[in-house]
Amino acid sequence: MKHPLKSIVLLLHCDDQPGIVSAISREIFTATGNILQLDQHTTDRSEGQFFMRVHFEVNAQGYEKFAESWPMTAQKYNARWQLYDMSIPLKMVILVSKIDHCLFDLLYRYSSGEFNVEIPMVISNHEDLRPMVEKYSVPFHFIPVNADNKREAESQIMQLAGQNSDFLVLARYMQILTPEFIEKYPGEIINIHHSFLPSFKGAYPYQRAYERGVKLIGATAHFVTEDLDEGPIIEQMVTRVSHRDNANDMKIKGKNLEKLALASAVKCTLERRIIRYGNRTVVFT
């Protein structure tokens, strides 16, 4: 009788040194596991950093053996690592304002089964998108935000999402989160910005791109940090524009880029393909 296999992902980051790949492979082999995919990256010698993602299958008994022995091996290499059971879906809470294209795309991918994710709720500072969200049988919470109640509103968001999510997605949520909220929230926060960062940070990027006469526009999915639109970049997408395109034309073209870049960032998060390193990311594709 065959035992069901667990699908496991190991993410690892350490100083580059000989024997790491061999040690990991040996640990998985000893646990009777089978490597499905192994990706690695080494920075240049001036930094000397090593990154790895290993996706493997192993039965329950072998997994227990690996989980017991692996930390001792990792310690020898002074490695920072995470081990994930891919059968357990992550919980994603979405924050949105009035603009719907990114939200709709995420909900569609969720409902169609493309994303192995749970969406406990959508939170918005406007009521406009409630019908769309509830059509997907996802709870909708309206939390108005203004200059006078921002701290209170963020406290409500934290109460709702803090313990009910693994990560937050800002799907065109047109509010700047306070440093206190970002520091307190226990998971990652992903934002989609409608420009090819680091160009045109902040508001009205399409208008500013038009005024600057750019020939490429883009969208950037990035982790949120205390510095506005400065967090580690996960995904970027671009398209060409010309002198014939006005700011509204760029906005229309950019919507598709925003959807695709955000969806890619969410997919990489769900599949555990991202390792943060300083203000950069390693994204294994």
Q: What is the CATH number of the domain that holds 80?
A: 3.30.70.260
pLDDT number for residue 248: 95
> Does 131 lie in the same domain as 62?
no
Q: Which two tokens stand for residue 196?
A: 């090819």
> Does 73 lie in the same domain as 168?
no
> Does 242 lie in the same domain as 140?
yes
Report the pLDDT averaged over residues 57-77.
96
With 80 as the cut, is the pLDDT of residue 243 above it? Answer: yes
Domain that holds residue 198: 90-283
With 70 as the cut, is the pLDDT of residue 197 above it? Answer: yes
> Does 138 lie in the same domain as 68?
no
- The last residue of a domain, from among 68, 85, 102: 85
> Does 116 lie in the same domain as 37?
no
3-class secondary structure, 226 = coil
pLDDT number for residue 218: 96
Number of domains within the chain? 2
Tallying the residues shown for the chain, one arrives at 285
> Does 141 lie in the same domain as 28?
no
> Does 204 lie in the same domain as 102?
yes
pLDDT greater at residue 12 or residue 228: 12
Query: Using one digit for the tens of pLDDT, what is the confidence trace for 248-284?
Result: 999 999 999 999 999 999 999 999 999 999 999 999 9
pLDDT number for residue 194: 93
Query: Using one digit for the tens of pLDDT, what is the confidence trace for 3-43?
Result: 789 999 999 999 999 999 999 999 999 999 999 999 999 99
- The last residue of a domain, from among 85, 109, 140: 85
Percent of the chain with pLDDT over 90: 95
- Cβ–Cβ under 8 Å, residues 132 and 140: no
With 90 as the cut, is the pLDDT of residue 45 above it? Answer: no
> Does 183 lie in the same domain as 69?
no
Report the pLDDT averaged over residues 188-210.
94
pTM of the model: 0.94
Q: What are phi and psi of 64, to 5 degrees?
A: -60, -40
> Does 96 lie in the same domain as 72?
no
- The last residue of a domain, from among 55, 85, 115: 85
Q: List the CATH number of the domain containing 165.
A: 3.40.50.170
> Does 209 lie in the same domain as 81?
no
Q: Looking at the annotation, which residues are catalytic?
A: 229
Q: Which two tokens stand for residue 25?
A: 């492979």
Spatial distance between the Cα atoms of 14 and 259, rounded to a whole number of angstroms: 33
Q: What are phi and psi of 38, to 5 degrees?
A: -135, 120
pLDDT number for residue 172: 96
Query: Using one digit for the tens of pLDDT, what is the confidence trace for 80-136?
Result: 999 999 999 999 999 999 999 999 999 999 999 999 999 999 999 999 999 999 999
- SS3 string, 26-91, reads HHHHHCCCEEEEEEEEECCCCCCEEEEEEEEEEEHHHHHHHHHHHHHHHHHCCCEEEEEECCCCEE
Give the model's confidence band at 234: pLDDT under 50 very low, under 70 low, under 90 confident, else very high.
Answer: very high
> Does 95 lie in the same domain as 48?
no
> Does 109 lie in the same domain as 231?
yes
Report the pLDDT averaged over residues 57-73.
96
